[in-house]
Amino acid sequence: MAEKPIMLNRLLLLVASLLLTMVATSNADNTVVKNLDIKRYMGRWYQIASFPTLFQPKNAVDTRATYSLNDNGTVNVLNEDWVDGKRQFIQGIAYKADPNSDEAKLKVKFYIPPSIPIFPVIGDYWVLYVDQDYQNAVVGGPTKLFLWILSRKSHIDDATYNDLVEKAKDEGYDVTKLLKTPQSETPPPTTAEEGSSS
């Protein structure tokens, strides 16, 4: 299966989308997880549903994120999806927005272009909810432009999904914009080529 980093035009759309967050209304009333156990949060998360964004193609399937803890306390981020049978990916680094805060407000930094890391693009990643077993999560940010429902499993039952949607709705998100992400019955195999960096 052919693999390639996310195309430059998609990264430019990512920049445009993130710039929109700078002019959007901030929502300080969002409930954010406190004292997130970052080690338990590491690993593979499947995108169950999300708001459509400019930087994710509409026909992408099997979208997922894999997080690994670096020696310096930052988090290596590997985002993957498949378009027309071809794997696309982008890597970044996540870190706490405020090291002194107990809230799960992270920043995620990507570089454009990824082969020449000179131009950082930084977005917000707020964990709004995670269950006690760290199996399902709701992720947003300081604005309500982005929303992700994540799970350790590529498929979840309707009751669990509806409960996660309700949690997002309680935070003021327009959940009618949520689109479910197509996930294969058998997720694509893990690729060991992208490791963590410290």
pLDDT above 60 (res 129): yes
pLDDT in tens, 171-197: 999 999 999 999 999 888 866 444 433
DSSP the chain: --EEEPPHHHHHHHHHHHHHHHHSPP-TT----BS--HHHH-EEEEEEEE---TTS-TT-EEEEEEEEE-TTS-EEEEEEEEETTEEEEEEEEEEESSTT--B-EEEEEEEESTTS--EEEEEEEEEEEE-TTS-EEEEE-SSSS--EEEESSS---HHHHHHHHHHHHHTT--GGG-EEPP--SSPPPP--SS----
Mean pLDDT, residues 125-144: 96
Mean pLDDT, residues 92-110: 96
Tell me which CATH code domain 3-180 carries: 2.40.128.20
User: Where along the chain do its domains lie?
Assistant: 3-180
pLDDT above 50 (res 21): no
pLDDT of 9? 47
The confidence band for 169, taking pLDDT boundaries of 50, 70 and 90, is very high
Dist CA 102 CA 133 (whole Å): 19
pLDDT greater at residue 166 or residue 118: 166
Lowest model confidence (mean pLDDT) among 57-66, 83-92, 186-195: 186-195
pLDDT above 60 (res 23): no
pLDDT above 80 (res 10): no
pLDDT of 197? 37
pLDDT in tens, 138-155: 999 998 999 999 999 999
What's the predicted TM-score (pTM) here? Answer: 0.83
pLDDT of 1? 44
pLDDT above 90 (res 83): yes
pLDDT above 70 (res 30): yes
